[in-house]
Amino acid sequence: MNIIRRTLLAATAALALTAQLQSASAEEVTFNIGYQPIVEPSRVPQADGAYEKATGARINWQKFDGGADVIAAIASGSLDIGYVGSSPLAAAASRELPVETIFVVGLISEAEALAVKSVSKPEELAGKKIATPFVSTAHYSLLTALKHWKVDPKSVEILNLRPPEIAAAWERGDIDGAYVWDPVLAQLKKSATVLATSADVAEWGGPTFDAWIVSKKFAEEHPDVVTAFVKVTGDATAAYRANPDAWNANSPEAEKIARLTGAKPEEVPSLLKGYTFPTIEEQAGAALLGGGTAKAVADTSAFLLEQGKIPAALSDYSPYVSTRWVAGAAKLTH
């Protein structure tokens, strides 16, 4: 009996030690996320610490002002997950950076636009100073709009400025306009005219979107973390989609989003309406990660190549888009 008892005690102790080691191992996972101060639902779980709770990991959140900087950080190995627009994503995939698109955050509509002063029609843009962050969705949309209007981009002085720099240049009167996103766009619109939005550009054949991407190396090493990350993001989208009116100016959600983006709480409800936010269930469909996203990246890459912004385009962009993570997250939901 004593031998059996000692054996059971040893086995129990071993199981307890294994559980402790597994728990310690989970706690020791630290990863880096690059986000942008853009008004969208996943700012709420970010503010709440929900990502840390779901993944069981320590997260270093790093703020970036543009997707090109996020891509550079992922390429250097200093980021594991990053928030980018479709244009930086296309540029990264075209250079065969080992990343995967894991969640389409939002299809850009009114949230990005060309705001100008002393310009009432496209042909008046010639000779004007128009700022935009290069290789961003806004830059792509600006070039697409100029092409649609048959305005030679070389006739416009296009300046490479990040959103905070655009806001400062606008206040100083150094620029005549900018193609940029909220919340800086909202600031410009107080004293500007909107010549075109990204909803217009989408109709002209240049749809844009924002997405979360992951380093393939990190995804291979920590699949459960990536799935949990996508689940939390999807839950935030679902909460907003279920009752957008509840995310009003006085809501906790608006306060949290404002805190992380620099927008004013009263601006948050209208800024959220500048996007279409797909649910977890919609993500894997043919219109998005199941096919449409790769096609949009390919179309964007073809345009960037035509504009001389990338050295070459790939024949297939599907390796840079995956339904695996939303499918896994959907199983956790049900």
56-83 confidence digits (pLDDT tens): 999 999 999 999 999 999 999 999 999 9
CA distance 241 to 276: 9
Sheet holding 157-160, edge to edge: 157-160, 129-132, 177-181, 112-116, 193-197
319 burial class (0-12, 13-18, 19+ CB within 10 angstroms)?
middle
Over range 14-27, report the average pLDDT.
44
The Cβ of residue 45 has, within 10 Å, a number of other Cβ atoms equal to: 20
Residue 23, pLDDT score: 43
The pTM (predicted TM-score) of the whole model is 0.86
Residue 86, pLDDT score: 96
The Cβ of residue 30 has, within 10 Å, a number of other Cβ atoms equal to: 10
Over range 18-46, report the average pLDDT.
78
**Residue whose C-alpha is closest to residue 127's, from 200, 68, 64, 176:** 176
Residue 333, pLDDT score: 62
Does the pLDDT of residue 21 top 60, yes or no? no
Over range 282-287, report the average pLDDT.
95
Measure the CA angle with vertex 84, ends 79 and 88; round to 5°.
Answer: 105
Give the helix ranges, DSSP H, for 77-175: 86-94, 137-149, 163-172
Structure-token pair, residue 324:
């695996």
Decide which of 15 and 187 is more confident: 187
Residue 307, pLDDT score: 87
Distances (CA, A) of 269 to 30, 190, 194, 275: 33, 17, 20, 11
- Look at the block and give the residue holding tokens 């698109």: 101
Q: List residues bridging with 243 in a β-sheet.
A: none
CA distance 114 to 166: 12
H or E stretch at 82: strand 81-85
Helix (H, G, I), strand (E, B) or coil at 288: coil
Model pLDDT for residues 201-221, shown as the tens digit of each residue? 999 989 999 999 999 999 999
CA distance 52 to 50: 5
Over range 272-279, report the average pLDDT.
95
Give Dmax (Cα) for the chain: 94
Distances (CA, A) of 317 to 31, 41, 155, 293: 26, 27, 33, 9
pLDDT bracket for residue 332 (50, 70, 90): confident
Segments of 161-281 assigned E as strands: 177-181, 193-197, 209-215, 275-276
